[in-house]
Amino acid sequence: MKSNVVKRLLKYIGKHRRFVLGALLCAVFSNILMIAGPFIIGKGVDNIVGKGRVDFKQILNIVVIIIILYLVSAVFQWSLQVLTSKLANRTVEGLRNDVFTHVTQMPLEYYDRNAHGDIMARLTSDMEYISEGIFQSVTQFVTGIISIVGSLVFMFILNPFITLVVIVMTPITFFIASFITKRSSSLFKEQSRLNGELNGFVEEMVGNQKVVKAFNYEDRAREKFEEINGRLYKAGRWAQFYSSLVNPSTRLVNNITYVLLGLTGGIAAIAGRLSVGYISSFLTYSTYFSQPINNITSVTTQLQTAAASAQRVFAVLDSEPEKPEAQGLVEFTSSEGKVSFDRVDFSYNPETRLIKDFSLNVKPGTRIAIVGPTGAGKTTLVNLLMRFYEVDSGNIYIDDINSREMTKDSLRKSFGMVLQETWLFSGTIRENIAYGKPDATDEEIIAAAKSSNAHSFIKRLPAGYNTMVAEGGGNLSQGQRQLLTIARVMLIIPPMLILDEATSSVDTRTEIKIQNAFNKLMEGRTSFIIAHRLSTIREADLILVLNNGQIVEQGNHEQLLEKGGFYSKLYYSQYENED
Amino acid sequence: MFRLVKYLKPYIKQVTLGPAFKLLEAILELLIPLLMAKLIDNGVKANNSSYIYMMGGLMLLTAVIGAGSAFICQYYASIASQGFGTTMRNLLFKKIQSFSFNEIDKIGTPSLINRITSDVNQLQFAVAMLIRLVIRVPFLCIGGVVMAMIINVKLSLVLLIVMPLFAAFLYIVMSRSIPMYKSVQKKLDTLSTVIRENLSGARVVRAFARLDKERERFIKSNKEYADNSVRVGRISALLNPATTVIINLGVAAILWFGGYQVYEGSMSQGEIIAYINYVNMILSALIVLANLVITFTKAAASAARVNELLDLEPSISDPTEEQLKSIDQLTDLSGESNSTEKAEEPVIEFKNVSFSYDGSAENVLQDISFRIYKGQVTGIIGSTGAGKTTLISLIARFYDTTGGAVCINGTDVKKLKQNELRNKIGMVPQKSVLFSGTMEENLKWGKHDAAPDDMVKAAKVAQAYEFIEKKPEGFSTQIVQGGRNLSGGQKQRLAIARALIKKPEILILDDSSSALDYATDASLRRELKENLTDTTVIIVTQRVAAIRNAELIVVMDEGEIVGMGRNEELLESCAVYREIVNSQDESGVAPDEK
């Protein structure tokens, strides 16, 4: 599973091969030059033997070489980092685009089922971890390995015997690091789990402060917060402690190596097998050697996090999207408005069948009202009509064309839809109204706002039509937001109309005005209206009374009242007197 | 940032001992190259192998003690930093709890959450770094310089030139990258907004066939974010290579000038080696220092955000003793003048109340006065934006009035303790908010020691019992965050039950049956009527049917009361009410046919 994740990630990285190649080249060059540095400095030191025994000509040469060498190396090092940062950012950019596109191709069920915060996290913070992981693995891991191998080679050239000391000590470092990392990883998991729990709790309590206050829940909330926070403290403290042991431990091993090098080097020098300058170089190499090991051990946690994040991200890509649309589908442009359901079955989950054997023929220009108790399947019918969900069996025809044989976009464009949820995006009021028709003129927008009764309140806003809608639309009341979503539909003048509790947040007086506008708009057009308010639907040509996914009654208002069935019961309950 | 230091006080031991041990480690670390130089000069050059062993042993001991000190320091650092973080989180949570809606509206929930989580994490990290590095790094730098100076003062001139060079460079990089870093964060915010909107608006985006446009919007925003990250990366990538170059320029200079010193005999070869080692040590310390500066810059930004919360005084707070007295005197005076009416005191009274939201010039409520008596059912009706929800928010004192007063049982709400006030009130908000946990836990919000019978009773009245019972786990059914596994109507009924279980003196229903079908709504109202004879009920609604029989109906329009009375009176006297009734009941046949 893990190797699979790495492989898939490599595919994305592979798209930016030139950055990888460039980075690797820069890594090799800059490291070779960096490693050569101490060798040359050591040579310089060897030319400074003692009083009166200094070869200035040689030193000058070496000084010039050192300056050039480090300058060139620095250029490579900088390029390495820039290329890696490009690699990491561009890779993640591509991955993020793919994941987002994939998410937009998911059936609506996916949005209903998954926590939005979780999907958000996968597209943002998980991506950050991956980007950081790529950056670290190239700059630390790859260059680390190059400089480890490089300094080993140089040391070997200097003295193979002493190099053995270093080679023996190295695995100890890795052993210690992996031992501690393994020990602390469960603590880290616990810590991040508790962090999630705490975040979730704060989000709930702060986000719903009104209820918390109304129920005097502050103290109990605080107690619970402190309890979670206390657990977080314990886990966090030990996780931090154990993981912070890695660095001093490896440093200890490095220091021991350093001392052993001095010892063996010193002995070797006494035996005349090594010059003092070489001991100096050797010592520097041992730090060059241990530094990347230190760095690698300190980024392992980051790489683990990155791998875990990549796994979460790829899990999104693995979820089954809606089937891509076949070629040669009809670009539907509705002219009539004839809609029919033919023996439609549908269920959200296999155990409970919601819509059973549903058939309905709607003549062009009919106004259909769908009523029924909560959970009767009213909204589901709309979901099927718009193909937010696909029918399990049966067919839906529009103008005698099977809706499955037309492109979804063209199908959906033939309906204007106003939902109960008043979704606005962060932008100006103007942009929000023009959502379905971005090239609308100001006159069209104002006309739409006027017919939806939104113009008068927009006019009173500080910046009128250019007022920014805050994220989530916090600066507008629920009713005002609904008026904007209605204006949005008024603007596009769709061939057919779906109103799903479209005026539930609007008071009835305003509703009547809007209704009149809708009536004008809908003259001769097919429309579906879902509402709890029976007054809204009294004027419909056809009322469908739904219960448990089936039509239990249909007819117009008078017919249904006369029938004295389910509908009339619903209707009278509205006016029922309590006394 | 420094103002937060006082919260480190409980960890004074860890905060002082930690760096002390780290300092010890640093000192020991500095000793090692010095010992090495001795080993080379006195051991290797004098061919004295026993001296080499002795020095070797000494160095080993130094290394082990150094590591031990580091462990102790890390131990203290973990206690102090995590403890500090925990304290800050508790403190902020408590503070946020005390805020009224004015403050919460002003800062915004997502920002509050970010501050209590990621900003505190930044600070926590900074404390850990502070303990670990703040003494060690400058010490290594200064120590390295001092040790180098001890070896040779003249040569140290090189360092004194190199260090400011480094500082200047660090400053240039920081001053350019910090604003860029901020803009990267802003781009990330934009990107998150696009994602969030596409998740919440999935239906609308599809209904308007705008998927392609949304994808374009995302890709553009994604690219801007990546571009900005790459740009800031280009600048910050300068830091390490440049530091290396600057230091090694120093090394080259040391070779050259050191050569002269050795030539003159004022310095030995071993000393040159030690000198170069110190310089390398300074180099690595400086690189850490650069990273440390970045950490603290970020922490300073977070500290500012945290401090802003801590400084913010809640605009609504419980009255102090003195205030209580002064208010007492005021109400006593007014009480005397009205003593004749004392016989029947209204449960709720609005006296010339006006209200405007913070920072808004326009009054949302204007000159509102009415009285509600015990056991009465009062309906508040009016068009969208008429100020109905704002009005009831004033009863529970979610906001303070800007003019006039709201009195409960004759006492100004400002004079009551918020806890006491809200204990009297059962509130069912417009948006039915439930919390993750079981249904039982949610119901117990109203009364934490509610007996099973109480729960069943409340659930029955709220028309919730039937569907709860149908669930396989009954009252123990888990509710996921936000109540996504329940329908809108079910959530509303649970929210009503939660308020009922409290057995409040005053029950406020804020349009809280909008998601119920009429039949359920009607049974709910009947049950409420039968079971809550002593309770004063306020129903905010847009349905005339819901309040037709109320003892008092308050009709609101654009923040003012335009009519008050019973249904029949209002039908005659109030045009707005008539309009509302007509809009819902044009034919007028229904009541007659009953």
Q: Give the mean pLDDT of B536-554.
A: 86
Do residues A145 and A167 both lie within one domain?
Answer: no
Residue A76's contacts (CB-CB under 8 Å, 6 or more residues apart) are A26, A27, A29, A30, A33
Q: Testing the interface with A: which of B79, B255, B538 to mutate, by most A Cβ within 10 A?
A: B255
**Whether B386 and A232 lie within 8 Å, measured CB to CB:** no
Nearest CA in chain B to A494: B208
Report d(CA A477, CA A242) in Å as an integer.
Answer: 51
Residues A140 and A14 in one domain: yes
In a domain, A227, yes or no: yes
Residue identified by tokens 């091993």 is: A253
Q: How far apart are CA A340 and CA B143, in angstroms?
A: 86
* CB burial readout B442-462, b (16+ within 10 A) else e: bbbbbbeebeeebbbbbbbbb
Q: Name the E strands within B464-515.
A: 478-479, 506-510
Res B359: pLDDT: 58
pLDDT band at B554 (very low <50, low <70, confident <90, very high): very high
Q: Which of B67, B82, B215 sits opposite A251 (nearest CB)?
A: B67
Query: Tokens standing for A419?
Result: 């939902």
List chain B residues with CB under 8 Å of A232: 86
Closest chain B C-alpha to A66 CA, distance in angstroms: 7
Burial degree of A407 (CB within 10 A; 0-12, 13-18, 19+):
middle
Would residue A341 count as lying in a domain? no
Round the average pLDDT of chain B to a whole number and report it: 82
Asked if residue A105 and residue A72 are part of one domain, the reply reads yes
The least confident of A11-20, A521-530, B240-249 is A521-530
Please check the confidence at residue B204 and state whether its pLDDT lies above 50.
Answer: yes
- Using an 8 Å CB-CB cutoff, list chain B residues near A415: 207
User: What integer is the mean pLDDT of B403-421?
Assistant: 88
Cβ–Cβ gap A577/B591 under 8 Å: yes
- The C-alpha angle B255, B259, B264, rounded to 5 degrees, equals 155
pLDDT reading at B79 higher than 70: yes
Percent of chain A exceeding pLDDT 70 equals 93
Q: CB-CB: which of B132, B446, B518 is closest to A215?
A: B446
Mean pLDDT computed over B64-91: 92
For residue A247, the model assigns a pLDDT of 78
Number of compact structural domains in chain A: 2
How far, in Å, are A16, A155, A522, A552 from residue A382 at the CA level? 45, 75, 18, 18
Instruction: Indicate the pLDDT class of residue A446, thresholds 50, 70 and 90.
Output: very high
| pLDDT for residue A94 is more than 90 | yes
Quick one: which of B7, B86, B98 has its CA closest to B309?
B98
Suggest the residue from A45, A112, A415 to mutate for an interface test with chain B (most B CBs closer than 10 A): A45
Give yes or no for residue B412 having a pLDDT over 80: yes
Residue A560 within any structural domain of the chain: no
Q: Token digits for B476?
A: 């123990």
Environment class of residue B264 by beta-carbon count within 10 Å: exposed (0-12), middle (13-18) or buried (19+)? Answer: exposed
pLDDT score recorded for residue B218 = 92
Q: What is the tens place of the pLDDT at every residue in B169-198?
A: 888 888 887 778 777 777 877 887 788 778
Q: Taking residues A51-64, what's their average pLDDT?
A: 86
At residue A265's C-alpha, the angle toward residues A264 and A270, to 5°, is: 100
Residue A8's CATH number: 1.20.1560.10
Do both A145 and A164 map to the same domain? no
Q: How far apart are CA A444 and CA A95, in angstroms?
A: 40
Query: What are the tokens at B27?
Result: 């000192």
- Residue B592: the pLDDT is 30
Angle at B251 between CA B246 and CA B256, to 5 degrees: 125
What is the distance between the terminal CA atoms of chain A, rounded to a whole angstrom?
68
Q: What is the mean pLDDT of residues A90-118?
A: 84
Q: Which of B32, B206, B251 sits opposite A66 (nearest CB)?
A: B251
Give the residue, A376 or B402, on which the prediction is more confident: B402
- CA of B215: which chain A residue's CA is closest? A101
User: What is d(CA A156, CA A282) in angstroms, rounded to the nearest whole number?
Assistant: 10
The residues with which B351 forms a beta bridge, in sequence order, are B405
Going by C-alpha positions, the residue among B479, B287, B231 that lies closest to residue A82 is B231
Task: State the pLDDT at residue B125.
Answer: 84
Q: How far is B339 from chain A (nearest CA, A)?
A: 32
Q: What mean pLDDT is predicted for residues A40-47?
A: 83
pLDDT at B591: 36
What pLDDT sits at residue A535?
Answer: 64
Q: Which residues pair with A345 in a beta bridge?
A: A393
Name the band, by pLDDT with cuts 50, 70 and 90, for residue B64: very high
Same domain, A12 and A137: yes
Q: Provide the β-strand partners of residue B560.
A: B557
- Specify if A211 maps to a domain: yes
Give the Cβ contact number of residue A34 at 10 Å: 24
Domain boundary among A294, A323, A352: A323
Question: Within 10 A of A57 (CB to CB), how many other CB atoms are there?
Answer: 9
The residues, ordered by sequence, that sit 6+ positions from A160 with a Cβ below 8 Å of its Cβ are: none
Higher-pLDDT residue of A97, B358: A97
Give the residue, B129 or B2, on which the prediction is more confident. B129
Tell me whether residues B86 and A578 touch, CB distance under 8 A: no
Beta-strand relationship, A542-547 and A550-555: antiparallel
**Rounded Cα gap, residues B354 and B367, in angstroms:** 5
Separation in Å, CA of A276 to nearest CA in chain B: 8
- Write a three-state SS string for B21-59: HHHHHHHHHHHHHHHHHHHHHHHHCCCCHHHHHHHHHHH
Nearest residue, CB atoms, B218 vs list A100, A504, A569: A100
Q: How far apart are CA B296 and CA B290, in angstroms?
A: 10
Summarised one tens digit per residue, pLDDT across range B569-592 is: 998 999 888 888 887 754 333 333
Q: Between these two residues, B472 and A98, which has the higher pLDDT value?
A: A98
pLDDT for res B108:
67
Both A135 and A169 in one domain: the answer is no
Least CB–CB distance from A572: residue in B280, B445, B594 = B594
Residues A138 and A256 reside in one and the same domain: no
Give the chain A residue whose CA is nearest to the CA of B362: A460
Q: Which residue of A has its CA nearest to B214?
A: A104
Tell if the CB–CB gap between A573 and B519 is shorter than 8 Å.
yes
**Domain limits at A166?**
160-273
Q: How is residue A157 written in tokens? A: 């050239």
The C-alpha of A79 sits at a distance from chain B's nearest C-alpha, in angstroms, of 8
Query: What are the φ/ψ torsions at residue A298 (nearest 5 degrees)?
Result: -80, -20
Max Cα distance, chain B (Å): 122
Residue A93 to residue B223, Cβ atoms within 8 A: yes
Cross-chain Cβ contact B448/A230 below 8 Å: no
Residue A196, domain member (yes or no): yes
Contacts of A45 in chain B (CB under 8 A): 255, 269, 272-273, 276
Average pLDDT over residues A246-268: 83
Q: What is the pTM of this model?
A: 0.73
Cβ distance B52 to A266 less than 8 Å, yes or no, reads yes
Contact state of B255 with A571 under an 8 Å Cβ cutoff: no
Separation between Cα atoms, residue A47 and residue A53, nearest integer Å: 8
Question: What is the nearest CA distance from B330 to chain A, expressed in angstroms?
Answer: 28
Is residue A94 situated within a structural domain? yes
pLDDT of residue A504: 66
For residue A99, what pLDDT band results from cuts at 50, 70 and 90?
very high
Which of A273, A288, A315 represents a domain boundary (last residue)? A273
Does the structure show a pLDDT above 70 at B340?
no
Of B201, B430, B517, the CB nearest to A532: B517
Is there a single domain that holds both residue A145 and residue A57? Answer: yes
Residue B496 has pLDDT above 70, yes or no: yes
As a whole number, mean pLDDT of residues A368-385 equals 81
- Rounded CA-CA distance A322/A244 in Å is 47
Question: Is a pLDDT exceeding 70 seen at residue A505?
Answer: no
Judge whether A374 and B489 are in contact, CB under 8 Å: yes
Q: A408 in a domain, yes or no?
A: no
Query: Are A172 and A139 members of one domain?
Result: no
Domain membership flag for residue A219: yes
A445-456 average pLDDT score: 88
Q: Domain check: are A165 and A37 in the same one?
A: no
Chain A residues close to B114, C-beta within 8 Å: none
Q: Which residue has the higher pLDDT, B23 or A520?
A: B23
- Taking residues A470-478, report their average pLDDT: 61
Q: Are A440 and A498 in contact (CB under 8 A)?
A: no
The arithmetic mean of pLDDT across residues A536-560, rounded, is 83
* Residue A418 pLDDT > 70: yes
Q: Which residues, in sequence order, are bridge partners of residue A468? A: A428
Residue A241 and residue B75: Cβ atoms within 8 Å?
yes
Residue type, A274: L
Q: Chain A contacts of B436, Cβ < 8 Å?
A: 200, 204
Residues of A within 8 A of B45 (CB-CB) are: 276
pLDDT of residue B72: 93
| Residues ≥6 apart with Cβ < 8 Å to A377 | A354, A355, A546, A548, A549
Most confident stretch, A231-245, A473-487, B125-139, B275-289: A231-245
CA distance A244 to chain B (A): 6
Distances (CA, A) of B55 to A261, A262, A304, B21, B69: 12, 9, 41, 23, 21
Give the residue among A355, A370, A437, A361 at the shortest CA–CA distance from A399.
A361
Residue bearing tokens 């229903």 = B509
In the predicted model, is pLDDT for residue A271 greater than 90?
Answer: no
Residue A374 has pLDDT above 80, yes or no: no
What are the distances in angstroms from CA B575 to CA A270, A556, B569, B587? 112, 31, 11, 18
Contact B40 A270 (CB under 8 A): no
Mean pLDDT of B554-578: 89
Closest partner residue to B67 among A34, A248, A410, by Cβ? A248
Number of Cβ pairs closer than 8 Å across A and B?
471
**A99 and A65 share one domain:** yes
pLDDT digits (tens, 9 = 90+) for A272-296: 777 777 777 777 777 777 777 777 7
**A194 and A226 share a domain?**
yes
B396·A213 Cβ contact <8 A = yes
Q: How confident is the model at residue A231 (pLDDT cuts 50, 70, 90)?
A: very high
